Structure 1
Amino acid sequence: MTDRPAEPGTGPPRPPGGAPPTGPPPGGAAPPYTPGGAAPYPAAPPGVPWPAAGGDGEPRQRLHPLSPLLHGAKSLVVVIAGLSWSTLSRVGFGWFAAMVVVLALGATVLSVISWYNTGYHVVGRELRVYEGLLWRRTRAIPLERLQAVEVVRPLLAQLTGLAELRLEVVGGGKTEAPLAYLGVTDAARLRERLLALAGRASQPPAPGLTAPSTAPGAVPPAAPGRPLHAVRNQSLLVSQLLTPQAFLLPFGLAFVVVQFVTAGSWSFVAVASTLTAMAGVLLQPIRRVLDDWNFRLARDGGTLRVHNGLLETRAQTVPLDRVQTVRATWPLLWRMKGWLRLRLEVAGYSVAEADDRNRPDRLLPVGDLPTATMIVTEVLPGVRLDALALSPPPPRARWVHPLGRGALGAGLFERVFATRSGLLTRQVAIVPYARIQSVRVVQGPAQRRLGLATVHADTAGGSGAAAHDRDLAEAWGLAAELTARAHAARRSG
């Protein structure tokens, strides 16, 4: 993405030596761009037109007219939360309601002004997004760097038949140019068009976007492609009950009740603060249930397609050629049922996002070993999760890990490097040799005295895998072998 000043009064540039574009080709298909020829301008998706000042090419498009209302509604929630109960007790309900109304109206007016001055259109092989009132800004996103276009439908968007497009760009620090909001049909068409121009054609539209609206909680249609697995919602609920937060909840409630009964000085504010703190502890498992509800995984050529969410539905595309690491995790309380979860590290996505839900790292929220083995084989052909024989570190490593030496392990296989770690929460990391960017041998003070070292296999934008507390000579030999296999895999790939 590059920022450039807005150019009022000019339309899309004409290609050198070519005639000005005269409109879309028959059928609306976008022909490939040919340097030195006329740049194609496919038909713009339907929406609220914003004519380009120069008159050349397609007009700019505005977002959906209901977008200011949705942004204003979100601002209203923030305003009410910011005013807090203390403000209500000081000014009374009437003045409190008046303050909320005034601030909500102000937020809505600002949202309308922002909507009026925001637009987007495709110029050649760029998506340009215009925004700003006093300070105009144009963001030009080269479609060659476009990794994926994800479709997100928060609860309010589902109720109003709208959707949000979020663009993932290779090397971006965060999700680029989120277009919030578009009609579901417009969002599907624009997504297909951008992916086609980016060279990722033939990807079917995101699931759940063919109908004008989807009722919250309704089961959307199956994800396109070859279905791999659908997680049962009952298993998802049970898995989140088997977490430390859920087990500690009765003790926390008992503590609050005992303190409230025995200590007469406890006020309503104190009890409310304690319950709020407990709600914060429970937020993570509740959020996981809401995010992974109706989780479905499908294979579509060289991509994985993930559809999940209850209050906020998401349709994500994971290109298999950018998978850096696969991680299998066995939480302590899940082992009694033989459950585990699978996560991905994918290059080119926004690992710095504050909201980790924007990252396409979910591969299996909960499942058994045979299911996980099948999915890992789809992502990494020839690799079986249930057949990874990993060797432990030497016996003297127990001085560094008195209880967890048996949980450590590492192994070299035909296509991947795998490591195991964790005492209470067991984890296996699998890294294809072709994804290894660097290899490090690290020794701490205790390891130097014991003749041990840790070997790290680093990947692009991820944590990679680490073989902990190997014999020093074995560690150097392992590092040399990893380096050689990584070079060979990149040459053959």
Structure 2
Amino acid sequence: MSWQRLHRNTVVVTALTMAGVGLSVATPIVLGMLRGSRPAGPVLLIALGGVVALTGLSAFADRVRWRHTSYRITGERVELRYAWVLHKLRSIPRERVRTVDLTANPLLRAFGLTKVKIGTGQQVTGQQSHLTLDPIDRARAEELRRLLLDDEEPAPAAGEVVPAARPPIAELDWAWLRYAPVSVTTPILGAAAFGAVMQASDWFNLQGAVFTTVRDLFGGLSVLGLVAMLVAVGLVVGFVGSLGLFVEMWWRYRLTREKGTLRVHRGLLTTRSLSLERRRLRGVDMFEAFGARMLGAARVDVVATGLKATTENEKSNPKTLLPAAPIAIAQRVAVEVLGASPLSDVDIQAHPPAARARRLRWAVFGVAGVVAVLALLGALFTVVLLHLAWIAAVVLLPVAVALAVDDYRNLGHGLSGDYLVTRYGAGSRHTVALVRSGIIGWTVRSSPFQRRSGLVTIAATTAANSGEYFVRDVGENEGLRFAADTVPGLLTPFLEPRR
């Protein structure tokens, strides 16, 4: 393939994007200046000039980038070249391509464009682990995805019956929407809404009116009642916002199996299509967030080389194969992805009581530390903090103990066929199935407190995702034996009999 340019409409997209950014920044500044009785004409003229200058400079810079950037795909490599004042050539071997990620925000979709991110399996930060073609034509992007991941189905021979299309592994069920409000995003969105209202009212010099309205509506309530009412309103706003966020992220969600790849397609305003080579899979992580766990739901994340926990400008984790869904569906998806059922077949081994005692001690000591600080400050400054100290003890101690007990009950490990299974978490729970052949090393950690209790934490090292998966606070002999049995010969040379 000869050198090709990115799509020329990238300049228009950049200009429109920066015009929107400029207007959003200029609006509160203009409102603040007009509130100070300054003449409107010069203020608006300066603001408009700033927006035009920002838009023009950004469009010019992007045109330079477009004119001097090109890419090509050869039989062996994917290459991206920038050749102007500073010449730069980035290249990755095609056999190292692990993922092809197609993303299109509303502006790109309006112009029929897509950003393509070609990822490798390197566990490095920055842009060294991927090439980004931003943007190219949507049809061309799909062609590149099939080419790089070898998804082309062979043409049927003459007279051969064309096989029916494979059914998807999972599709969006709108009943899953009920799990969105029980996530941590609900209170965060509620608090963000309050902040946005206060900021906007400040821009328009209406904060006094906002406080007056709140006083008129809830003036008959006590301070405690007013706080409770505002919290309730915030939760309602967060509830609605979490539903909207779920719809935006998982609209038209489909998890499909193609030739040699898994593909996740989703998104309402910003569409996302991630293709992952099946031979790069190293396992799955079934994550039960606290709220979803209470409702019997779990999320399924993939453990694979070439994926990071987070990427820039992401609203959700790129390694998520299935949003929060009923636990039976999550287990079925895990089985279809792995081709085995280690999560349901494994015999989970409990950890020794010393692990529970360790967690209870940390829970009590943590609460005691908070109470001691409040009590000391109360003795020095005000009796109010003394009351906060005993209230904190009454409220926090049962919660901390309950989380410690739950953390211990969730601890477990085991072997199931070709997979290591480890489970952990307080409140929220992770159950990870990691293919044993993908483990390339072991790390054994033991703090002074663990050594006193005869415990160790072992970490299976793998070239996928975070790079380590832990079996926490297991008995020393059991942990070392488990590691030796998981990958025979890897840890054994470093073990010696206890004298």
Say whether the fold is shared (TM-score over 0.5).
Answer: yes
Aligned pair count reads 401
2:475 matched residue in structure 1: 471
Give me the TM-score of the superposition, normalised by structure 1: 0.71
Matched with 2:408 is: 405
Alpha-carbon separation, structure 2, partners of 1:255 and 1:69:
33
1:308 Cα deviation after fit? 1.0
Residue 289 of structure 1 and its aligned partner are, at CA, apart by 4.3
Superposed displacement of residue 311, structure 1: 1.2
TM-score by length of 2: 0.70
Taking the aligned partners of 1:67 and 1:266, their CA distance within structure 2 comes to: 41
Report the AA paired with residue 170 of structure 1.
G
Relative distance call for 1:453 and 1:281 in structure 2 (3 A) is farther
Compared CA separation, residues 78 and 248, structure 1 to 2 (3 A) = closer
User: Partner residue of 2:92?
Assistant: 141
The alpha-carbon distance between structure 1 residues 487 and 299, as it changes in their structure 2 partners (threshold 3 A), is farther
For 1:363-374, list aligned pairs within 5 A.
363-374=321-332
Percent of residue pairs bearing the same amino acid type: 24
2:180 corresponds to which of 240, 245, 270? 240
SS, match of residue 481 in structure 2: helix
Q: Which has the higher helix share?
A: 2
Give CA-to-partner distance per residue, 1:125-170, whole Å, 9 cap, x none.
3333232432232333332322233222221111122222221123
Structure 2 counterpart of 1:202, which letter?
E
Aligned to 2:452: 449
TM-aligned CA distance change 1:154 to 1:133, over 3 Å: same
Q: Following the alignment from structure 2 to structure 1, what is the Cα–Cα distance between the partners of residues 197 and 142?
A: 51
The within-5 A match list for 1:188-337 is 188-195=142-149, 200-202=150-152, 225-235=166-176, 237-246=177-186, 287=245, 289-337=247-295
1:151 equivalent in structure 2: 102
Tell me whether 375-384 or 334-343 shows the greater mean CA deviation.
375-384
Give the aligned partner of residue 386 of structure 2: none
The whole-number CA distance in structure 1 between the counterparts of 2:289 and 2:238 is: 21
SS of corresponding position for 2:169: strand
Larger radius of gyration: 2
* Ranges in structure 1 where 5+ consecutive residues have no aligned partner: 1-40, 42-57, 205-223, 489-493
Matching of residues 87-106 of structure 1 within 5 Å? 88-90=31-33, 92-106=43-57
RMSD between aligned residues: 3.8
What is the distance in 2 between the residues matched to 1:358 and 1:249? 15
What SS does the aligned partner of 2:268 have? Answer: coil
- Is 2:71 aligned against 1:120? yes
Structure 2: distance between partners of 1:303 and 1:191? 11
C-alpha displacement at 1:425, in angstroms?
0.6
CA distance in 2, matches of 1:203, 1:148: 18
After superposition, the Cα gap between the structure-2 partners of 1:106 and 1:396, relative to the gap in structure 1 and judged at 3 Å, is: closer
Displacement of 1:231: 2.0
Shift of 1:192: 3.2
Residue identity matched to 1:326 = V
SS in structure 1 of the partner of residue 413 of structure 2: strand
Instruction: Name the counterpart of 2:312.
Output: 354
* Higher RCO, Cα 8 Å, sep 6+: 2
Q: Of 439, 463, 467, which aligns to 1:436?
A: 439
Matched-pair contact (CA < 8 Å) for 2:100–2:276: no
